[in-house]
Structure 1
Amino acid sequence: MTPAERARQIDKEEFAAESQAARERAFAYSKHCRQREQQRVRAWMGITKNVVNKVNQLHVSDRAHRHTVNGQTKTLVEWADVLGITPKALLGRRRKLGSMEAAIAFQPTGRWAKRPDPGVVSNFAPSEGTGAGSTAPETPKITFSEKA
């Protein structure tokens, strides 16, 4: 092998080694960025651990399994009816938030949030009668004391 061929061979081997090292650094950097972004999203969502659940389909065991939250035990379908969402949406919340308790306690915000009617108090008992007609005397018996 001539010195020129030997120099070309050495350059070729060095280039291959440097390319491999650069490729490995790029993959390691992209993996690091992906993990950092996942951690940022988990922190933003309030998730502290990585939860993996089967969520794509509503299996019979998911529908029949009972979940106890705040002392109330109901099935997945019953909890979804109470919340006014579909069972699949409740499973999605459970997957994202990490537990059934968090999924049930979740209060959505934004344009899809269901807000109570303005001016309506949920624990205010309805009144009986309107104050006129048969429930109230037709001639009021009001007396005023005279002050001198």
Structure 2
Amino acid sequence: MTPAERAREIDRQEFETECKAARDRALAYVNHCRQLEKQRVQVWIGVTKNVVNKINQLQLSDRAHRHTVNGESKTLGEWAKIIGITPKALLGRRRRLGSMEAAIAFQPTGRWAKRPAPGVSLNFAPSEGTGAGSTAQETPKITFSEKA
């Protein structure tokens, strides 16, 4: 065998090895993608064997459970909406403060505290219009008293 033939044979063997390795990687990737798609379809259909989202699993019982604070019973999402924060933030407060009552009653301080706009009283009821709209339409003829 001449040196040129020997070099061609080595190149051919290297090429076959590289092709086999590339083919194996491609097949492994295709199988991985098939498994992911199969799991996604099973979740979509409703078959949930071993497909569990750990975050949803952790919060599922909390979202369905009703929490009673001061005689009012609401779900976690309802309490979070009333307070004006996300359910995840309310769960964090509950873990940090120890109870749902403390988490709901908590008033943040510092730069995260939501302060009312200056000059606005918290107990001042919002107005429902000017008050003249309905009266002006109900009495089409307005009379004025004349001064002498």
Per the shorter chain, which TM-score range?
0.3 to 0.5
The structure with the largest helix share of the pair is 2
